[in-house]
Amino acid sequence: MTTVPRNVEITGPAGERYEEILTPEALGLLAALHGELADRRLEALAARRRRQAELSNGAMLDFLPQTAHIREDDSWRGAPPAPGLEDRRVEITAPADRKTTISALNSGASVWVADFEDTSTPRWENMIGGQLNLKDALEDDETLATIVVRPRGWHLEEKHILIDERRASASLTDFALYMAASARKQVDKGKGPYFCLPKLESHLEARLWNDAFVLAQESLGLPRGTIRATASIETIPAAFEMDEILHELREHSAGLNTDRWDYLSSIIRKFRTRGKEFILPERNAITMTAPMMRACTGLLVQTCRKRGAHATTAGAEQHPEAHVTARELLAVSETPGEITEAGLRDNISVGLQYLAAWLGGNGEVTICGLMADTATAEIARSQVWQWLHNHVRLEDGTAVTADLVEELIDEELLKIRALAGDDFDIALYGQAVALFSEVALADSFPEFLTVPAYERMP
């Protein structure tokens, strides 16, 4: 009989049917993955910090000279489309709560990305409950859409599981629990365990995932290549390593996709100290037709076509086949648009409303008639930080200062309270104001708002 490894400790509360997910097999796989990959994950995060220091000191991103042979080799291809992933023209992303799971699988979409990242909140009950919902869905013969799981990014931790007295990687936790509970069910349905990998910043981080795939397949007795993964190009460093990322994942690859808000947040994060050259206009003015976004999606489509891989990105068919240069990927200053008081207020209001919902356990929220997730809040607070710390003036000449931002926070909070009426949660909005102020006004730029937010969550 398999037992839970002695070096694994569950600190989260028990819940109904949690034992179906937190099985000895699942925790054993997680422990094995941690034993092989935990130190490499920490090194990957350290590499991010080193690159950030170089960029902050004036370095510029470019295509890697040491991997030119991979880009120039026309002979290699990614894996062919896996069963259930041949047609991805209608694909939705949504959290794996019970109600959304039912709706997503019967929506008519060909693919549902069950999201444990941007549209979810990492409450313990959400993470384990989501795994239970996927397990249950795969036991239903009427399941229609192909399920793709989006685990949390490499930078996040799962504080409710300790391995060797250290917090588990959230990425490996989501991956291991799903593989143990649902991988064989997917194979029995003629498909497989499919994933979407968020916020990669290099091909070495993709290699880390590929090694996790190999280890998990061997551990569970699945043929190599059963797992397939779409890599999200939603950070500016990854845009310079698309070929390399596909190459690392090639036997497990399901192509590339991109996302506007995360990508724009990454630009601010990486070039936050570089002044006017990298100042973005207010977010609602930035579309996929902006020069830098056209360059990113154009390169993504070119790369995927060359490697026989899926490219999933809105508006991709509009882009020419011309060679994309590093200068075009970095043409941030050519982005049309203005910075107005209305844009500043919108970022503050959206940030506050979303953070209050997130801290309350809801990661996908309708705000002013538009769907918002963590990426929305991330770009909103990042822009406020960028405008403040780079001494930007609004269209009317008003300087963006900490005093102005704090004044607008108070004013927007009053508007939110008036609209919410009796539904206004004083405690949650108190936390939201404190958190937004921390991630938008601090002298140093917090890399991801979800990191300090997670510490405020039970």
Supply 368's token pair: 């002013």
Q: Number of C-alpha atoms within 13 angstroms, CB side, residue 398?
A: 13
Cβ neighbour number for residue 66 with a 10 Å cutoff: 7
- For every residue of 61-109, DSSP letters joined together read ----GGGHHHHH--S---PPPPTT-S--SSEEEEE--HHHHHHHHTSS-
Q: Which residues are identified as catalytic?
A: 150, 373
Please say whether the beta carbons of 426 and 440 come within 8 A: no
Q: Which of 135, 123, 170, 132 is nearest to 150 (CA)?
A: 170
Provide the 3-class DSSP secondary structure of residue 163: strand
Please say whether the beta carbons of 185 and 138 come within 8 A: yes
Residue 368: Cβ-neighbour burial (10 angstroms; 0-12, 13-18, 19+): exposed
Please say whether the beta carbons of 119 and 373 come within 8 A: yes
Supply 98's token pair: 């019970």
The distance of Cα 220 from the centroid of its chain, to the nearest Å, equals: 27
Please say whether the beta carbons of 401 and 414 come within 8 A: no
